[in-house]
Homo-oligomer: A and B are copies of this chain.
Amino acid sequence: MTLQTTTDTLPAPSRFSVRTVLQNAGIGRALLALIIFFSVFTEHFLTPNNITNILTQITINLVLAVGMTFVILIGGIDLSVGSVMAFAAVVAGKAITLPGFGPAEAIALAVIAATLTGVLCGLINGAISAYWALPSFIITLGMLNIARGAALQVSDAQTIYSFPYAFEEFGSAMIYGVPVVFLVALVLVFMAWFVLNFTVFGRLLYGIGNNEEAVRLAGQSVRRYKIAAFTICGFTAGIAAVVYMARLNISSPIAGIGFELNAIAAVIIGGTSLSGGRGSVIGTLLGAFIIGVLANGLILIGLSDFMRQMITGVVIIFAVILDHYRAKYAAT
């Protein structure tokens, strides 16, 4: 409610106008349709337990997708997030299992190690693609390989385990049935929403995605902002690593394979344009929900694996088609 009022006095138009709300509602409607469908077809779907499960299950993708939103908004892409997450988890796993630290210190160390690793990888992605004006697709594809190789090398391809008990606690803690890790993701969404809509930084990111040259000619350092966007994306990969570790209590060097596609899908299903400049992190939130609900619901209704994969593809396509019609009517 308070948000609503703030918005009325502080409109950040292309992101929070009636139109954008409708736009989000559009994909929101696809989500609603899915939820109704699953509720009707399986009694287990709308149970508190299952809702908790869904929230837990979308957390990692949501965290990654928040960072990915920044990168896609400036017209870039980051294929390395899954690998970077694994690398960060492995580094943090090494840190947390170092002998001679109390649980609190060990956890702090791990969190710092994970985020630093993520930030560093993101910084490298951003610096190289911005400095030489190279396609981020290729640079981050390179990083995908580098980070994965590094994760395997550092861990010697072994799963790292036996973390402090407090860390597990955090991973499985709930507040009124809502997983704490999901709340962490929500906080990230909120922060991203705030930054994108209410700060100069966010404004310029949208500007760069729309017309980089115009922003450059207005005297802004486009490079710096691009680097920042990739760094944020690396940061969220680091946070995702922490969530992964807390949830599963291990660090696996082969974690996160293919996560980049899921994160990108959440962003784009959420209405952010791959060519940059348009979209919102609220859309990303809904996109992540669509993917998560779909994965959950299709198992609950007992579809076989292969059918499930096919139906997932079909529903993703239908969701964006539906969204298209919504956007069309909203526009006229």
Contact = CB atoms under 8 A, between A and B. Distances in A.
Interface of A: 79, 128, 132-135, 137-139, 141-150, 152-153, 157, 261, 264-265, 268-269, 273-275, 305-314, 316-317, 320-321, 324
Given A132-B320, A146-B313, 11 more contacts: A137-B264, A137-B274, A138-B265, A139-B317, A139-B320, A141-B313, A146-B310, A147-B313, A149-B307, A149-B313, A153-B307
B305 A152 contact: yes
A312 B152 contact: no
A95 B66 CA distance: 46
30 contacts: A128-B317, A132-B324, A134-B321, A135-B268, A135-B273, A135-B274, A135-B320, A137-B264, A137-B274, A138-B265, A138-B268, A139-B317, A141-B261, A141-B265, A141-B313, A141-B316, A142-B313, A142-B317, A145-B310, A145-B313, A146-B310, A146-B314, A147-B313, A148-B309, A150-B310, A152-B305, A153-B306, A153-B307, A153-B310, A275-B275
Nearest to A128: B317
A274 to B, nearest CB: 5
Contacts of A273: 135
Number of copies of this chain that the complex holds: 2
A32 B264 CA distance: 35
Nearest to A308: B149
Nearest to A154: B306
Contact of A321 (B128, B143, B312): B128
A79 B317 contact: no
Contacts of A309: 145-146, 148-149, 152
A81 to B, nearest CB: 14
Nearest to A273: B135
Nearest to A324: B132
Nearest to A139: B317
A153 B306 CA distance: 6
Nearest to A77: B274
